[in-house]
Amino acid sequence: MPLQPDPSYVGRFAPSPTGPLHFGSFVAAIASWLDARAAGGRWLLRMEDLDRPRVKSEAADRILAQFDAAGLHWDGEVSWQSRRLDLYREALERLASMEATYWCACTRKEIADSAITPDGAGVYAGTCRGGFARGKSPRAIRVRTKAEAIAFVDRLQGPVEQSVEREVGDFVVFRADNTFAYQLAVVVDDAEQGITDVVRGADLIDSTPRQIHLQRLLGLPAPRYLHVPVAVTAAGEKLSKQKDAAEGSSRDLRAALAFLGHAAPADVADGDLLLWARGAWDPSAIPRRRTISVNAAARSP
C-alpha cells in the first residue's frame, strides 16, 4: 500500500563518516529519503562521528558530495554527534542514578571466548554485575538487561523479538576508550530530534531491541522502524566503503531503486528519477529480505 501523507513524519539518515557511502548505504539513504518525502515529512542528516579512531576527516565531505550528486536534499543543518556530548553525558548520568548501569573491568579478550551475538560480538555473561574483582580497573560502563523478550514490528521485516540479556547480554554504553557508545547516542539523538521513523539497513535490526531497552529506561518514545535489505557481495560479504563507493550518479540511483523493488521505467529521464520514485514509493514493494547479493554488473543499468 502506498503511504498516506503524514506531515508529522520526521526521518533521518545517520552515516558514520568512516568512508564514502557504499552502494548498500546509498540504498538505505535513498529509502530513508523517499519514505520521508513520500509522506510529506522532514528528513534530517546526522553525522555519527563519535568513533574517533575510525572517523576520516574527508569522509563527511565525500558523503555530502554523494548526496548532492544524487539530488538528495536534507532539512536544516547537518548535526554532528561530536558536538552533542553533553546530551549523552546527561543520559548516562540518568541511567547511573537509576542504578541501571555498572562499571565493567573485563578486557576484550576475557569476553571474546563467550558465545557469539547476532552481530558477531561475544554475549556478555554479566561478570561485573555485582562489582569487579579487587585489583582490576574499571574500563567501560554497561547497562543491565532483562531476560524477557523485547518485541517490535518492523514495517518491512515484520515481528522481531529478542531477549537482550540472553542474546547480547548487558551491553556497553560508555566505551573503554572514553567514547559514548553508538547504542546510547543513537537513542538520545532520535528522541531529541523528534524522529518518528527510522529507515536503515537490516544489518542494524538486531541492535533495535537494545535501543528500545534504552528508550524504555530513559522514558523516551520509540520511533517506527523499517529495515531495508543490505547489499552484500555474491559471496555474502559486506561491501567495502572504498572499493564499492557509490557516486550518487543516475546509474547508481536507478540501481538503488531497482534493488528496492522500484525499478524506474526506461522513459523516466535521469533528472526525474527521484520525483518519479517519490510518487511511486510503496514500502511493501521492497523485497522482504535482510540481505541481497549484488555484483558490479547488477549495479549497472
Binding site for ligand GLU (CB under 6 A): 14-16, 48, 186, 200, 204
How far apart, in Å, do the first and last CA atoms of the chain sit? Answer: 27
3-state SS of the chain: helix, strand, coil percent to 5? 35, 20, 45
Residue (43 or 102) nearer to ligand GLU, CB: 43
Matching residue, cell 543520559: 91
CB neighbour burial string for 24-61, b if at least 16 within 10 angstroms, e if fewer = bbbbbbbbbbbbbbbbebbbbbbbbbbbeeebeeebbe
- DSSP 3-state of 262: coil
CB of 97 to ligand GLU, least distance (A): 26
Residue (186 or 257) nearer to ligand GLU, CB: 186
Residue ranges in the chain assigned as alpha helix (H): 23-38, 59-70, 85-97, 108-112, 164-167, 182-192, 208-218, 250-259, 273-280
Residue (15 or 283) nearer to ligand GLU, CB: 15
DSSP string, 72-94: ---SSPPEEGGG-HHHHHHHHHH
Residue (13 or 102) nearer to ligand GLU, CB: 13
CB of 132 to ligand GLU, least distance (A): 30
CB of 21 to ligand GLU, least distance (A): 9
Residue (25 or 250) nearer to ligand GLU, CB: 25
CB of 18 to ligand GLU, least distance (A): 8
- Nearest 5°: CA angle at 43, between 42 and 45? 145
- DSSP 3-state of 96: helix
Residues 6+ apart with CB under 8 A from 99: none
Residue (104 or 209) nearer to ligand GLU, CB: 209
Residue (15 or 169) nearer to ligand GLU, CB: 15
Residues 6+ apart with CB under 8 A from 53: 177
CB of 200 to ligand GLU, least distance (A): 4
CB of 271 to ligand GLU, least distance (A): 28
Residue (204 or 277) nearer to ligand GLU, CB: 204
Matching residue, cell 531497482: 258
CB of 12 to ligand GLU, least distance (A): 8
- How many other C-beta atoms can be found within 10 angstroms of the C-beta atom of residue 92? 20
CB of 51 to ligand GLU, least distance (A): 9
